[in-house]
A and B are shown apart, each in its own frame.
Chain A
Amino acid sequence: MSTLEIAAVTKRFGAIDTLKGIDIVLENGEFLVLLGPSGCGKSTLLNIIAGLLEPSGGDILIDGRSMRKVHPKNRDIAMVFQSYALYPNLSVARNIGFGLEMRKVPKAEREEAVRRAAEILQIEPLLARKPAELSGGQRQRVAIGRALVRDPKVFLFDEPLSNLDAKLRTEMRTELKRLHQKLKATIVYVTHDQVEAMTLATRIAVMREGRVEQIGTPREIYDHPASLYVASFMGSPPMNLLEGRVSANGDSFEAEGGSCFIPIPAASRSTLGPGRPVIAGIKPEHLAPARSDTRSTLSMDVEVVELTGAETLVIGRTGGQTLVASVKPDDAPAIGTPFALTAPADHVRWFDPDSGKAFPA
């Protein structure tokens, strides 16, 4: 039986359809990340799962039981908020134990649970302090501790790391991952940061305007984006999307402006068809400098070279379209020179410019 089932959930605010039918089934121990831009309805969906909002249609099932009219406190969920939401005049220990205190758990049992959670999160020395005396990262740990003591069926996280600085965010991300592996918890996690989604999730649901655009493992989403929307959301920098058409004989792709030639694998030729307008999606890391003995498939005029550390981003134009390649620092060309690249044909994704959907590979 699934741990959490989101069944045809819709939500209207006045005349606006914020959620337009969400269906997701989550097994025990899964880490689902809801990924999408601001305003796409992620928090709304999370609040519906928590019971803080009522859906306009559909239902939430936890362990197969309908949650219609079930109060949040009786749903066996725990929630971690973006702003930490700690009770300002209670000590850290009491903050963590508050949910148990409200559920009339005996004091000794409560203290033991708080101690255990504090140990896992390494905040034992902070237990006597007030939230105002903590740093952002410490507050976030306390907020997680508050969820942890409850040992709920489902953890809900609403952008828990977005108020932290970059370094702390990376640390906490690793820690959350470790926590998930250790506790085998079922988690729904909201973010608009695709790196967070990639590193944490066992499954990602990419949301767009109240719908799930694509759901799958991070690898599936990253390697096989189902649409231009998903492709432009994943990866940093995201996939290059080159407009063009299939050549007259159907065996290659010609970009607008003409400075590009990519062979089309035999398997894809029948679905694409000669002369058809298509968009070729190529990841920056799949573009490699053409060696002199191979026939180059792409050529760009280099405009910017960005060092990012292990990799160097080469940004330029090919036939009027922007192209980004990620290469080794030694291979970086000089600005203003033409740069010849190859793209392995089996790593190129094909999209229909009319529907925005990917062609089946």
Chain B
Amino acid sequence: MSSAWITTRAWLLMLPLLIVMIAIVGWPMVDTVRLSFTDTRLVGTSGEYVGLANYAKLLTGNAFLGALRTTAVFAVFSVAAEMTLGVLAALLLDQQFRGRSFVRALMILPWALPTVVNAMLWRLIYNPEYGALNSLLTQLGILSEYRSWLGEPGTALWAIVAADCWKNFPLVALIALAALQAVPRDIKAAAVVDGAGAFARFRFVLWPYLAGPLTIALVLRTIEAFKVFDIIWVMTRGGPVNSTRTLSILVYQEAFSFQRAGSGASLALIVTLIVTVFAGFYIALMRRSGSRA
């Protein structure tokens, strides 16, 4: 069989998939690019060509920069907290103790919940009148009066970060646990005999096995966090006073609340560009670990 035929056949076999991909991803992308150069509104007349006006307005306006900052804060803190908590949980679950498999199964639960359900749960917890957090903190004497965690610009974003972290740290924990279980028992024993303390054991014995999987988890979680929409939409809709308005929320508001399809499209493309940079980073990482193996 000639190699040309093998190549042709490969393309033939992939053709149906490619057609579907182009239909549901490719074409809308192209159309979004076209839209972003117009002042099209969601309903009504088709818009006029306006060149780079949408981009210029966005990149110089406060809304975009504010949303970018909010998104970055959300991504950095939620991902950092998830990674830390996840690794700590994995270290605990890697120990021998009674009921370990039960705790392992239990820990997956938050991650298995649909985001919307998780967001609703946390709205209840944060509720200013009967929320569990308020009653807990006042009973402990940390707080003197109930607060509206999601209603104050100073706390809303952090409240969402906590809720997001709660949902997503189990994924990191699971990945880290799998990596920890791959650490050879003999190396752990050798470190004990060598007199390595807890920190040295983590640094020299566990870390070499954790680093690769955690980097992948880090990049994937960062991409996800940059795209965050649903948890915020359910909990605060970007408020109060736009304090939780991330890029995806802004895209939605532009395109659907304010019905500015053209300007929404240009914003969406910018978000896509940012995420693509992260994705490119991820692919480079995969390539590197692939060529090492």
Contacts and interface: CB of A to CB of B under 8 A. Distances in A.
A87 B203 CA distance: 10
B200 A87 contact: no
Interface in B165-219: 184, 186-187, 189-197, 200, 204-205, 207-209
Interface string A212-256: 000000000000000000000000000000000000000000000
Contact of B204 (A47, A77, A89): A89
Interface stretch (A96-104, A180-188, A304-312): A96-104
A87 B193 contact: no
Interface stretch (A13-21, A78-86, A284-292, A323-331): A78-86
Nearest to B187: A85
A85 B189 contact: yes
Contact of A72 (B193, B204, B205): B193
A190 B191 CA distance: 20
B205 A50 contact: no
A102 B200 contact: yes
B178 to A, nearest CB: 17
Interface in A64-88: 72-74, 77-79, 81-88
Contacts of A90: 204
Nearest to B211: A89
Given A81-B186, A81-B189, A81-B190, A87 B204 contact: yes
B184 A99 contact: no
B190 A88 contact: no
A85 B192 CA distance: 12
A292 B8 CA distance: 81
Contacts of A146: 190, 194
Contacts, number: 59
B208 A87 contact: yes
Contacts of A52: 189, 192-193
B189 A73 contact: no
Tell me which of A72, A85, A86 has the highest count of chain B C-beta atoms within 10 A of its own C-beta.
Answer: A85
A73 B190 contact: no
B85 to A, nearest CB: 25
Contacts of A78: 193
A140 to B, nearest CB: 13
A73 B186 contact: no
A84 B194 CA distance: 14
B193 A50 contact: yes
B275 to A, nearest CB: 32
Contacts of A50: 189, 193
Contacts of A103: 195
Contacts of A102: 194-197, 200
Q: Which 3 A-B pairs have the closest CB atoms?
A: A73-B195, A85-B186, A85-B190
Given A52-B193, A87-B187, 5 more contacts: A51-B193, A52-B189, A79-B190, A83-B186, A87-B208
